[in-house]
Every structure is written in structure tokens, then in C-alpha cells.
Amino acid sequence: MMKDIIAGKTRATMKTEKLRGKAIFRGGRGTAIRTMGLLGGIFSYAVEAGVIKHNPTHGLRKPKYEVRDRLLTEAEYRFLGGIVRDAQASDHYRLHAEILRLITLTGCRRGEIVKLKWRRLRLL
């Protein structure tokens, strides 16, 4: 199962209940690692509950996560800064430029910035 997920054999696209909803399953290495971890936890619980005698995922050698550690070079940051400055001058792209600027300065993920809720702070 793990090898099939890594190879992309479980790849699928499905329509969801939303009007234009679509779920895309790509598989891959990270998906396989998370899936096998979840499955191992389920089997461990089943062993503790007495449903099964042993965990079939115990001792399974899972691939390691690939850690991404690439950083932008100074030239790339300068280029990105120029693009963000140009976008901030545009009424149409101002919000997008601010989001990109926050992502660049904080290191947050895009979704974390987009869903960010500003709350009124009260000084003590």
C-alpha cells in the first residue's frame, strides 16, 4: 500500500458536494508517510482494545520526510521586493501585495496569512 501511494497509483480527482468543488488526491511520499502513521495509530489502538493480536505496521520502514531548506538569495529578495512595491501601487493588487509582503517578512504560510484575524488589542 505504501509503495503504491508513493508511486502515485492512488491518484484521483473527485467532485465534492460544493457547487464547484473538486478534491484532488495526488499521493506521493509525504502522503504515504502520513497515511502509514495514521494507520499505525489505528492498529495500535486496536491491539490495546483487544480487537487484533498484533499491529501489522509495526516495524515497517517508512521513508523520511524531505526537509526543504532553500532560502531566497539577496538578489531574489530584491527582485521580489520590486514586484511587491509595483503591486502596492496598483489599486487592483494592493491587498495581494500586502499578503505577499507579510508572508515574506514573517515566514508564515499563505493560508495562515489569508485566514489571519485582526483583533483589537487593549493595552494594560
* Verdict on whether the full-model pTM lies above 0.75: no
* Three-class secondary structure of residue 2 per DSSP: helix
Which pLDDT score is estimated for 107? 85
Which pLDDT score is estimated for 111? 81
Q: In which band, very low, low, confident or very high, does the pLDDT at 123 lie, cut at 50, 70 and 90? A: very low
Q: What is the dihedral of CA 98, 103, 106, 112, to 10 degrees?
A: 100
Q: Is the pLDDT of residue 3 over 50?
A: yes
Residues 6 or more apart in contact with residue 10 via CB below 8 angstroms: 4, 25, 27
Which pLDDT score is estimated for 98? 86
Q: Looking at residues 78-98, what average pLDDT do you find?
A: 91
Q: In which band, very low, low, confident or very high, does the pLDDT at 121 lie, cut at 50, 70 and 90? A: very low
Listed residue (22, 28, 23) closest to 9, CA to CA: 28
Which pLDDT score is estimated for 122? 45
Per 3-state DSSP, what percentage of the chain is helix, strand, and coil (rounded to 5)? 50, 5, 45
